[in-house]
Amino acid sequence: MGAGHGHGHAAGRAADRSRLRLVLTITGVVLVVELVGAWLASSLALLADAGHLATDAAAVVVALGASYMAARPGGPRSTFGYHRAEILAALANALVLLVVCGYLAYAGIDRLRHPGSVEVDAGLLIAFAAVGLLANAVSLTVLTRSETGSLNLRATALEVTADLVGSCTALAAGVVIALTDWVHADAIASLLIALLILPRSWTLLRESATVLLEQAPAGLDLEDVRRHVAEMPGVVEVHDLHAWTITSGIPSLSAHVTVTDEALAEHGVGGILDRLCECVASHFDVQHATFQVEPVSHRAHEDLGEMHA
């Protein structure tokens, strides 16, 4: 038997989709602007930043698709719905970020080896990088206003952050080139961006893998849960305790709870379930919990079944 989901979750997901659509529009416009800027300024830095934006636009499309999939109701085979599509999209975003990180490192080293291969119009580079900086700042503000804690939105925000840093670095490189003609600025900028993206990408990859491996949610101590439930009046034992995350913001828990015959007679199964669900919801913020309530006599039967298994 189980408890219900949080009532505001669906509304939060709908708002997240609106945020993603707005960010996709901004990203698409800036992508076109930077491509024009790269052509006018003969700037590989702007062209690389535009390529990074194109990757981000694709990631936002994937994130939107995953969010819509997560909103679809479950069926006979998909009993949990399609919430995990969001986690798969976040994992894909993390892998894309790692690939972009590797490319930036390679391009930066190659530019250091061949510093005179490109002549950049520093003035145009500064102007178009400033446009990208402003647009990315707006996108990041839109994404960080979400209150759902969506892993998918966090993945997109990480990519926009990488773009923001890329725009800042391109802007700084343009200023350095304009003032000193030091062409190594582009290469060093690429390496700095790669170093900034790497730890964030790894964190996102690890968190996505944690959900897919159905490990206990971060911050949820199962021994603490077991101890808290076991201290409830009438509870004899808590076993087969499991916790996992369906998708970001939806932790789940299940357990077998052995209770005394007196507790069952006094409160009934429904009353005991209400108390158990209220306990984990109020103390551990787990809104989706499933408990199997067993009388003490059933535990002896369960042990006998395990002996014959």
> 167-189: per-residue pLDDT in tens?
888 899 889 989 998 878 877 87
Give, in order, the Cα–Cα distances in Å from 93 to each of 38, 88, 90, 159, 243. Answer: 25, 9, 5, 8, 26
Q: Give the mean model confidence (pLDDT) for residues 109-114.
A: 82
Instruction: Give the whole-angstrom CA distance, residue 53 versus residue 46.
Output: 10
Whether the pLDDT of residue 6 is over 70: the answer is no
Determine the pLDDT at residue 308.
39
Check residue 294 and report its DSSP letter.
E
Burial class (CB in 10 A: 0-12, 13-18, 19+), 300: exposed
Assess whether 144 and 280 both reside in one domain: no
pLDDT band with cut points at 50, 70 and 90 for residue 160: confident
pLDDT band with cut points at 50, 70 and 90 for residue 306: very low
Say if 2 falls within a structural domain.
Answer: no
Assess whether 27 and 84 both reside in one domain: yes
Say if 150 falls within a structural domain.
Answer: yes
For residue 283, the domain's CATH number is: 3.30.70.1350
In b/e form, how buried is each residue of 27-59, taking b as 16+ CB within 10 angstroms?
beebbebbbebbeebebbbbbbbbbbbebbbeb
Indicate whether this model's pTM tops 0.75. Answer: no
Assess whether 206 and 289 both reside in one domain: no
Cα–Cα nearest to 81, from 92, 73, 89, 93: 73
Instruction: Give the whole-angstrom CA distance, residue 81 versus residue 151.
Output: 17
Instruction: Tell me the pLDDT of the chain averaged across its residues.
Output: 81
Assess whether 162 and 231 both reside in one domain: no
Assess whether 61 and 207 both reside in one domain: yes
Determine the pLDDT at residue 4.
42
Would you state the structure tokens that stand for residue 41, as one six-digit string? 């300024």
Give the range among 29-38, 154-163, 250-259 with minimum mean pLDDT: 154-163
Say if 217 falls within a structural domain.
Answer: no
Per the structure, the complete domain to which residue 301 belongs is given by: 222-308
Assess whether 55 and 200 both reside in one domain: yes
Assess whether 29 and 177 both reside in one domain: yes
